[in-house]
Amino acid sequence: MYIIVGLGNPGSEYEITRHNAGFMAVDYLAKKNGIKINKLKHKALVGEGKIAGENVMLAKPLTYMNLSGRSVKDIFEQNCADLEKLIIIYDDMDLDLGKIRIRVKGSSGTHNGMKSIIYQLQTEDFPRIRIGIGACPEGIDAVDYVLSPFSAEEQKIIGEVVKKIAEAVETIIMDGIPAAMNKYN
């Protein structure tokens, strides 16, 4: 089973913020594949179904971003024995708005949600899809920036990006991560 986790913060006040780009991608994946994310399990909202013919669990941790690892560790230990089938989707200030970067493994960079996941799993060796939200403008605190909402124009860009991410996830499942990297990076 593939486990696809979108990172974000629970609550309507965070719904369209930059830090919730991972939630947005998982919500789109769910909608596109007819998966209802409506069960409370593993400190997350989860839904199960099929993508590209494979069993998947979609998850949105409810632990708030900085503690995402607690939820991901619980989901992973209960459902997945293969790190290659754990895919984390999250926002990244080091990428231009709308860019996608798929990696087989890697560090957390400055992302506290990824720091938490790496700490809890005790490894960096799992796939991830980073969503570019653009650099924090000078003079603005990074926390304030990632918790600020996307503008209407930025929302349109992110709307297109989540569609590409859905295609990338399908490519990962059908053809592997290298094929997705070649096509979408």
> How far, in Å, CA of 14 to CA of 37, rounded?
18
DSSP annotation of 137: P
Which residue of the set 19, 42, 70, 128 is catalytic?
Answer: 19
Instruction: Judge residue 41's burial from the number of C-beta atoms within 10 Å of its C-beta, 0-12 exposed, 13-18 middle, 19 or more buried.
Output: middle
From 18, 15, 32, select the one nearest 158 (Cα to Cα).
Answer: 18
Is position 19 annotated as part of the catalytic site? yes
Which residues 6+ apart lie within 8 Å of 22 measured at CB? Answer: 5, 6, 7, 8, 60, 88, 89, 90, 91, 113, 131
Element (H, E) at 54: strand 54-61
Catalytic residue numbers?
19
